[in-house]
Amino acid sequence: MLDRIGAASLEDLFDEIPESLRITSLPGVPDALPEMDVARLAGTRASADGRPLNFIGAGAYEHHIPAPVWALVTRGEIYSAYTPYQAEASQGTLQIMYEYQSMIAGLTAMDVSNASLYDGASALAEACLMAVRAHRRSKSARVLVPATVNPTWRRVAGVMTEGQGLRMETLPYDAATGRLDPASLARLAGEDVTAIVVQQPNFFGQLEDVDAVMRWARANGALVVAAVNPVALALIAPPGEWGDGGADIAVGDAQPFGVPLSSGGPYVGFMACRMEHVRQMPGRIAGRTVDTEGKPGFTLTLQAREQHIRRAKATSNICTNQGLLMSAATIHLALLGPAGLERVARACVARTAELVSALTRLPGVKSAFTGPRFHEAVIRLERPVAPVLEALAAAGIVGGCDIGGDYPELGHALLVCATETRTQADIGTYARALGSVLGRAAAQEA
C-alpha cells in the first residue's frame, strides 16, 4: 500500500505530523496479544473496579437500567454507532432518531431537537458557538458562564471554543446559596453580552433562579443556553417554560437514560432549541415526511447546515450522532414513560435529602449551602477530603467527588449524590463508614 501511494515507509507517510505530537507507546496498554489473553486481561482490569457502593454524581449518574433496554439496543437492526450513509435506507434507525427528538423536545419544552451529540460537555460547547452564530446583532461573542456550571464541562467548552474567537467569562456564585450571584449580573447590565449559560440543577445540586437569569438576559439582549439534567425535568420547569419566553438553546447529557457509567463514557449529549435558531443548530435532524406514494416515512432534514453540503461554513464539524446511546436513551424513556420518570426523579430527591441529613448528623460534617436542591449536595468536612475518600474506598464505598481543587474557597468540600438506586440501608452504611473514618482520624490526632 505504501508503494501505491508513493511513500517510502510508514515514517515517511506520517512525516508531516510533528515529532512532539506523536505517541510511541500507550501507558498500560500492552502490545498485540492473542484474543484469549486480551479477554483475560480485560476481565482482570474490569474486576479491578469492584462493585462499590456509589455516591458520586458530578455529571454522570447511576440509575437503574431496565433489562429490555440493552436487550433491544444490541439487536442487529439497531446495533450501530452511526447514522448510516444513505440514511433513508435505514428507516428504523431514522424512526428511533425521530422518536428520540420528540422525547427531548417534549422534556425540554423546546421546539426542535437534533438527533444527539457526543456528550453533555461538547453539547455545551456547541451551544455556545451556536449562540454566537444565532445572535447576529451582538458583536462581542461574549458568553457568561457561572462558576456553578460543571467545571469539566466548562473546561471542555473552553478548549473547543477558544480558537473560534469566543470569550467565555466566569461569573461568581453566592457563598450561602451556592447559586449564581445575582449582583454579578446586575453589574453587567447594558453591556454587549451574546449569551449566558445557566445549569439547572447546577453543579452543586442547587436549583438556580432561572427566571431571574431569563429576565436579565431579555432585558440585556443576551441569548440563554440552558444546561439541564434530563431526569430533573420531570419535576422542575423545563427550559422552554422558563420566564420571559423560555431559553433559546437547551443542552445536557442523556446518560441518565439507559447509559451505564462505563468509567466515564461514551455518553450522549442532547440539544434542543427554539425554531427560529434551527438553522444554526449543529448535528443531524430526522424528519417525518411522505414518499412519492403518500406513505409516511422518515428522512434527514435541514442538511444544508451540515458539513457534507456546507463544507467549511457548516454549523459544526459534527456529521453524525451518538446513535447507539441515543437508541438506549429512547428505549429507556419509552419504558419509563412520564409517570415512571417522575417516580425516579422523586426517589432521587428523597434519597439525597436522607443522605444529607444522615451525613450532617455526624460531628464535623456540614451542608455547604441552603436552599432547594435536586439529587446532589455539597458537604463540608473539617479535614482534607482525599484521605477520607481513600479510607471509604477501602470499605467499598465511593463517597463522592472531591471538589476542593475546582473550588478552593469551599475548603474541604465533597459533592455527594444519591439516585433511586441507593436504599436507606445503603445510606446508613455510608453514614456509619464516614463516622468511623472521621472518628479514627480524630482519635489519631488526639
Partner 1 sequence: MSQTPADLRYTKSHEWLRTLPDGTIEIGITDHAQQALGDLVFVEVPEAGRHLAAGDACAVVESVKAASDVYSPVAGEVTAGNPRLATEPELINRDPYGDGWIMRVKPAGGTATETLDAAAYEGVAAAGG
* Residues contributing to the site for partner 1 (CB under 8 A): 136-137, 279, 304-305, 309-310, 313
Q: How far apart are CA 238 and CA 244, in angstroms?
A: 13
Residue 253: phi and psi, rounded to 5, are -110, 125
Q: Which residues pair with 272 in a beta bridge?
A: 113, 250
In the bound state with partner 1, the residue whose beta carbon lies nearer, of 314 and 353, is 314
109 or 278: CB nearest partner 1: 278
Residue 4 or 313 with smaller CB distance to partner 1: 313
Q: What is the smallest separation between the CB atom of 318 and partner 1, expressed in angstroms?
A: 17
Cell readout for 92 is 428504523
Report, in Å, the least distance between residue 110 CB and partner 1: 20
Long-range contacts formed by 178-181: CB under 8 A, 24+ apart: 178/148, 178/202, 178/204, 178/206, 178/368, 178/369, 178/371, 178/378, 179/148, 179/206, 179/207, 179/208, 179/209, 179/371, 180/146, 180/148, 180/208, 180/209, 180/213
Task: Report the candidate in 91, 107, 131 with the shortest Cα–Cα distance to residue 282.
Answer: 131
| Nearer to partner 1 among residue 305 and residue 380 (C-beta) | 305
| Nearest CB to partner 1, comparing residues 33 and 309 | 309
- The distance of closest approach from Cβ of residue 246 to partner 1 in the complex, given in angstroms and rounded to an integer, is 21
User: At closest approach, how far in Å is the CB of 306 from partner 1?
Assistant: 9
Per the DSSP assignment, residues forming a β-bridge with 82 are: none
Please state the closest distance from residue 141 (CB atom) to partner 1, in A.
16
Minimum distance of partner 1 from residue 304's CB (angstroms): 4
Tell me whether residue 136 or residue 295 sits nearer to partner 1 (CB atom): 136
Cβ 87 to partner 1 shortest distance, Å: 15
Cell output for 443: 482519635
The residue written with cell numbers 441569548 in the block is 223
Min separation Cβ 166 and partner 1, Å: 19
Using the structure block, give the residue that is written with the C-alpha cell 432547594. Answer: 372
All three cell numbers of 293: 406514494
Burial of 401 (0-12, 13-18, 19+ CB in 10 A): buried
434: Cβ contacts below 8 Å, ≥ 6 apart: 359, 362, 365, 388, 392, 399
Nearer to partner 1, 177 or 315 (CB): 315
Question: What amino acid is encoded at 369 in this protein?
Answer: F
Q: Residue 141 or residue 231: which is nearer to partner 1 going by CB?
A: 141
d(CA 125, CA 128): 5
